[in-house]
Structure 1
């Protein structure tokens, strides 16, 4: 890795994390097109590289949330309980079933585009009933987290970019979802990156992460995540929900365009 590539990765990680951390998203999902299309990281190596980014960048926002006493609640435990085994399954699927970037991008577009639009519409035109009553139950959250963990293991995004829009759209406030989703993303990424490292020992091909690039992006995300978490209390709930929906929609559109070209 050249110094210019490392610097570009650092700046990209910083800027992305500043924008995404307030809504509980690590930003790894936005690094995927940068790594695939700009930096030329091969597939499936791009997935563990993104997980490495989450591992390095995650503590930035988590430290800020911990100081405010927002970590360690029941939502965090349920998300981790589901995503941790799910990411192991997702890593195996990514290596042996879905190695090509074309299928990879199509799946991201099909998932995040409708999810983001749904959250934006639900925010602008909320249902007449109290949204708190529609919040998912504890077991439902765990089952959802398992599925998202599998998806996160395949995509290398930790799952926060999916869990955030889903849980907020189902009625939970962003201030509750954001720290829990970031904590689950961090734990899931540690397990996912370790799984890929073990698979690389027994499988040929570009499976190991790009360590220098992942660390460079992660250091930028570490700083950006802390700054983004400090920004969150100053933003109204509606703005946070629209930001989260807009992020999911824009990523879905980006991958839809890349898939069609």
Structure 2
């Protein structure tokens, strides 16, 4: 019925209905953006498995999605004054150098689709399980419970102090802090992984900040998206400009990435808008289930 909308993208060779990429991106991004994640970590498996886009260029295409989609969500979080900018800057400065290392890992060590999917599965499984058990933990009178009781009230971030040793900010009447240097080092490592995966790192950074640094998801989402967007700009450039092995398609599919990005832009904006009305335990639960599901599929396929 809609055969006239079927199109073959010349760079990637993907053949699909042109409405599918933006629709899938919209749905995925709406839910994941609430946790500070663009949704690229789920769109890459969709491209590999459903669209059969298995060359290294799929990572660069994922970066294009981030570049196009994320600014709408960042704008929304910034408008509501819910971005801790010191955290955002530390993530950005730490992640970008790691992206180029991840690029070379992707084309030199993990060019085979089966091995790459196994690598992706291991990374996602750790994130998903760690996040899931964090949801199940019984906590006393914590800031999380207070946030869940104040979801309809004004939520803004106020920086108290910022130094190389420690950063402190205030959110919903509570003070939170993190080691600046440790977050920077974490961002660098995540940049390496994200560069190989094509996600910018937000899907890994957000769960780490929530589970290990005990920062509320409602306050870190905007910073993680900002870091992902910045890293993705460099990721696109690396995959588009840097030399690749002969016969290997590493250049991103610009049109396909743009279609994913347009759908994601609307999804991320709406997700950012409703996020403060959703208890963070539900946000983390949704993310953990999605992540573990994709991870198990990718790990299992490696052995068959």
Q: Give me the TM-score of the superposition, normalised by structure 2.
A: 0.79
Matched, 1:2 2:14: no
Rg: which structure is higher?
A: 2
Partner of 1:119: 131
Within the candidate set 35, 38, 46, 2:58 is matched to 46
Structure 2, unpaired ranges of 5+: 1-5, 9-15, 144-173
- Superposition map of 1:30-41 within 5 A: 30-41=42-53
Query: Relative to structure 2, which stretch is displaced further, 192-201 or 204-213?
Result: 192-201
Give the deviation of 1:245 after TM superposition: 2.4
User: 1:124 and 1:135, CA in 2 relative to 1: closer, same or farther beyond 3 A?
Assistant: farther
Within the candidate set 227, 248, 252, 1:209 is matched to 252
- Superposition map of 1:227-242 within 5 A: 227-242=270-285
User: 1:127 and 1:112, CA in 2 relative to 1: closer, same or farther beyond 3 A?
Assistant: farther
Q: Retained in 2: the 8 A contact 1:168–1:241? A: no
SS at match of 2:265: helix
Partner Cα separation in structure 2 for residue 176 and residue 39 of structure 1: 35
User: 1:174 and 1:196, CA in 2 relative to 1: closer, same or farther beyond 3 A?
Assistant: same
List per-residue Cα deviations over 1:49-85 (Å, max 9, x = no partner).
1111111111121111111122351110111111011
Within the candidate set 140, 144, 155, 2:197 is matched to 155
Partner of 1:185: 228
RMSD in angstroms over aligned alpha carbons? Answer: 2.3
Q: Retained in 2: the 8 A contact 1:58–1:221? A: yes
Give the deviation of 1:220 after TM superposition: 0.5
Partner of 2:287: 244
Give the deviation of 1:228 after TM superposition: 0.9
Give the deviation of 1:196 after TM superposition: 0.9
Partner of 1:224: 267
Q: Retained in 1: the 8 A contact 2:118–2:302? A: yes
Q: How many positions carry a matched residue from both structures?
A: 261
Partner of 1:65: 77
List per-residue Cα deviations over 1:28-47 (Å, max 9, x = no partner).
11111211122122311111
List per-residue Cα deviations over 1:196-243 (Å, max 9, x = no partner).
111247854201011111111111101111111112011012222222
Matched, 1:100 2:142: no
Q: Retained in 1: the 8 A contact 2:57–2:249? A: yes
Query: Relative to structure 2, which stretch is displaced further, 123-132 or 164-173?
Result: 123-132
Q: Give me the TM-score of the superposition, normalised by structure 1.
A: 0.92
Which structure's residues are more often helix, by fraction?
1
User: 1:256 and 1:201, CA in 2 relative to 1: closer, same or farther beyond 3 A?
Assistant: closer
Which structure's residues are more often strand, by fraction?
2
Partner of 1:25: 37
Q: Retained in 2: the 8 A contact 1:6–1:217? A: no
Partner Cα separation in structure 2 for residue 95 and residue 120 of structure 1: 32
SS at match of 1:2: strand
